[in-house]
Amino acid sequence: MRTTIKVKQGQLGLLKKDDEYIDVLVAGEHKFFDLRRQLSVELVELNGPAIEKEKAEFLRQYHPEWVSEYCFDIVLSDEEIGLLYENSSLKEILAPSTRRLYWNYAQRSMEVLSANELEVSPTLVKKLQHPKLRNQTVKGSEGVLSVDIPTWHAGIIRVDGEVQSLLPPGLKGYWRYQHKVDVEVVDMRLQTLDVSGQEILTKDKVTLRINLSASWRYSDVLSAYQLLSSPLEFLYKELQFALREAVGTRTLDELLENKTLIDTLVSEKISEVTKGYGIEVASLGVKDIVLPGEMKTILAQVVEAEKSAQANVIRRREETSATRSLLNTAKVMENNPVALRLKELETVERIAERIDKISVYGGLDQVLNGLVQIKGAQA
C-alpha cells in the first residue's frame, strides 16, 4: 500500500520502520510503499528545545551523518564556555563540559569563550545588564557574577577565598565556573561607628552606661581585608576594649573632673592598635554618660552641699568686707565732725525719700537727737 507523509515548513520527519530510525524527511510530501504498515514518522520542530539527552547520544553514535547535516551540535570542553543566541538575542550561557544537540535552525548560533579567563568581557556584562535582558531571564546567567561599584566606593575581589585586588568604580563581571568568586563593595568615605549602651564598672565600683561615637575611614583597603576577616567588627571590638580600659581603671571623680579624659585615652589606644591594619580613626568622643538613679541623687546632694558651702563662704566674706568698711567709716567720722554731719544728712535724706510728711519741732538738732515726731504715711 502507498503511504503519503507530509512534513511542514519548520519541521523535520524522522522516518521509522518497526520503531527503528531509517531516514530523515525534510519539508514536503513524501510517498512510500508500506505493504505491512511498518512505517511511521516522528515530526520534530526545528526551533524546538534541545533533543533529549538519550536520543541525542543515540543519534551521535548511530547516525553521525544526520547530526552533521540536520543538527546543531554543541560539545564544550572543560575549558570552554558557550553563549547561545537565537535571532541574534542571547538566550543561554552554557557551562563548560556542556553537551547539547538541537535540530538545525537558521536563527540559532553560538559563541565559544575560554573558561580560563576570570573576567567577563565588558560587552557581555553590558548585555546582561541591558533593560530588555533584565526583564527576560537569560538561562545560565547565574554563572556570571555582575557587580556595579558606585562612585566613592571600591570593590574587594576574592578568588577562592583569597583577596586579589582593589576594583575601581564601574560595572564588572566575573565567571563563576572555574573559581569561587566574591566581590565586596566598600565605602571609601568617612563613616560613623556608634558603640552604644556600654555598661562599665569604674575603679570605685560605680556602674556607668556610656555611648561612644567614632568617625573612621579606610587608609589601605587591601591591607585591611588581607589582615582582617571583618574590619568593621575588629574596629568595634577594639573601641569597646579601649573604652572599658579607660573607664575601669579610674574613679568616678576622676572621670567627672576631666570630661575629655575618656576621649583622649581611647583615641591614643585606638591609634596604637589599628596601626598597620589599613584603618584610620579621624575622631571619636563620648556622646553621653548615664549614671544609675541612686547615684544621680547622691551626686545632686553633693553638688547642692558644695554650692551651699561656697555661698556661705561668699556671704561671710562679704559681711566681713562690709563690717571692715563700716569700721573705716566710723574712724573717719570720729576724727572729722564735718564727715559725721554729712553722714547724718545722708541718713535724713534716705528717711525723707520714704516718708510722705514730716513735722519737725525744735529744729534739726532735735531730729538728730531723737526728739523728732514723725507724722504721715509710712513708706
Burial bucket for residue 157 (CB in 10 Å: 0-12, 13-18, 19+): buried
β-sheet bridge partners, residue 42: 14
pLDDT in tens, 106-127: 788 999 999 989 999 998 988 8
pLDDT in tens, 77-88: 999 999 999 888
What is the torsion angle, in degrees rounded to the nearest 10, for the CA atoms of residue 122, residue 140, residue 55 and residue 44?
A: -80
CA distance 348 to 258: 56
State the average pLDDT over residues 29-53. Answer: 88
pLDDT in tens, 319-346: 788 788 777 777 777 777 776 677 777 7
The DSSP secondary-structure symbol of 142 reads G
Q: What is the CATH number of domain 191-291?
A: 3.30.479.30
Q: Which among 259, 263, 208, 216 is positioned nearest to 235, based on CA atoms? A: 216
Residue 362: the pLDDT is 56
Rg over alpha carbons for the chain, rounded to the nearest Å, is 49
CA distance 81 to 133: 19
Contact 215, 195 (CB under 8 A): no
Distances 108 to 113, 140, 378 between C-alpha atoms, Å: 17, 17, 119
Q: Against a cut of 0.95, is the pTM above it?
A: no
The DSSP secondary-structure symbol of 219 reads S
| Domain boundaries, given as residue ranges, for the chain | 191-291, 310-368
Which comes out higher in pLDDT, residue 132 or 170?
A: 170
